[in-house]
């Protein structure tokens, strides 16, 4: 089973434990192209490109100008799943994983990334900010990151997947858009998490993000192999709602 996640905007590399079995990002060549282009931008340009504050823009100007590809874990360069600190990753909570669970996570979880294409949880990552949906004319042939990455993330997944191995899509729509579903023969299931509010079920994004990470955690810790097992998922009070679900979109409510 493969699990797709989005990265987080917030990154914290402090207090990350030394991890065994760290790995390196696959798309170094493509990442290098993007880093070189980002390193040429000044604070004003990054503010405009990303729609962020001056302080954040200054931080990312510095990140790209001093960007380094990892050869080993340092205080700054850490495994990706430990670096991301948003709500999804609070739900995932890799800090509490055993060594075996970390290894299983590295086998099953794939993080879609605007800068790295695809990251494994134990891939060593230099802190960055570059959202997949950023409108950026990278070259004459690529007016967006979707065009820049093209089929490469899909091809990467395709080579990894065994016959009929399910994909559990817990990534956001912005990131999942980089995957060409038609080229993958594996079944793809997108869990959706809803809260009962004002007489109806609604997506509350903060809770939904946390639930995505928590489901990824559940799959890893319980070594879930078959997607049907997820219909029994009851973490944090959620339950599978068959009447609200479709073949490819499974709704969980509470």
pLDDT at residue 116 tops 90: yes
Asked if residue 45 belongs to a domain, the reply is no
Number of Cβ within 10 Å of residue 207's Cβ equals 18
Which of 161, 238, 224 minimizes the C-alpha distance to 192?
A: 238
Predicted TM-score (pTM) of this structure: 0.95
User: Tokens 């809803």 belong to which residue?
Assistant: 194
Domain containing residue 120 = 2-25+74-253
Asked if residue 40 belongs to a domain, the reply is no
pLDDT at residue 75 tops 90: no
In this prediction, residues 130-157 reach a mean pLDDT of: 93
pLDDT at residue 223 tops 90: yes
pLDDT at residue 69 tops 90: no
Asked if residue 63 belongs to a domain, the reply is no
Asked if residue 60 belongs to a domain, the reply is no
8 Å CB contact between 8 and 84: yes
> How many structural domains is the chain composed of?
1
In this prediction, residues 1-24 reach a mean pLDDT of: 93
| Strands in 106-151 per DSSP E | 109-113, 117-119, 124-125
Asked if residue 186 belongs to a domain, the reply is yes
Asked if residue 35 belongs to a domain, the reply is no
User: Tokens 């001093």 belong to which residue?
Assistant: 66
Asked if residue 249 belongs to a domain, the reply is yes
Cβ-in-10-Å burial (0-12, 13-18, 19+) of 219 comes to: buried
Asked if residue 56 belongs to a domain, the reply is no
Residue 179 CA: distances (Å) to CA of 60, 104, 110, 149, 195: 27, 23, 12, 10, 28
């Amino acid at each position: 089973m493969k699990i797709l996640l989005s990265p987080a905007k917030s990154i914290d590399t402090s207090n990350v434990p030394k991890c065994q079995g760290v790995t390196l990002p696959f798309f170094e060549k493509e990442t290098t192209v993007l880093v070189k282009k980002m390193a040429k931008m000044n604070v004003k340009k990054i503010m405009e490109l990303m729609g962020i504050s001056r302080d954040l823009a200054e931080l990312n100007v510095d990140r790209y100008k001093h960007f380094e590809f990892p050869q080993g874990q340092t205080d700054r360069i850490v495994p990706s799943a430990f670096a991301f600190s948003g709500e999804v990753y609070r739900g995932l909570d890799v800090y509490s994983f055993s060594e075996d669970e970390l290894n299983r996570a590295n086998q099953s979880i794939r993080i879609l990334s605007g800068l790295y294409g695809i990251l494994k949880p134990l891939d060593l990552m230099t802190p960055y900010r570059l959202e997949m949906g950023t409108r950026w004319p990278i070259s004459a042939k690529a007016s967006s990151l979707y065009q820049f990455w093209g089929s490469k993330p899909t091809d990467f997944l395709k080579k990894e997947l065994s016959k009929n191995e399910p994909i559990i899509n817990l990534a956001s729509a912005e990131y999942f858009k980089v995957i060409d579903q038609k080229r993958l023969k594996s079944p793809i299931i997108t869990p959706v998490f809803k809260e009962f509010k004002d007489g109806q079920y609604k997506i509350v994004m903060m809770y939904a993000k946390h639930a995505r990470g928590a489901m990824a955690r559940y799959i890893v810790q319980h070594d879930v192999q078959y997607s049907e097992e997820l219909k029994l998922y009851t973490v944090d009070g959620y339950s599978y709602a068959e009447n609200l679900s479709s073949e490819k979109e499974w709704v969980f409510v509470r």
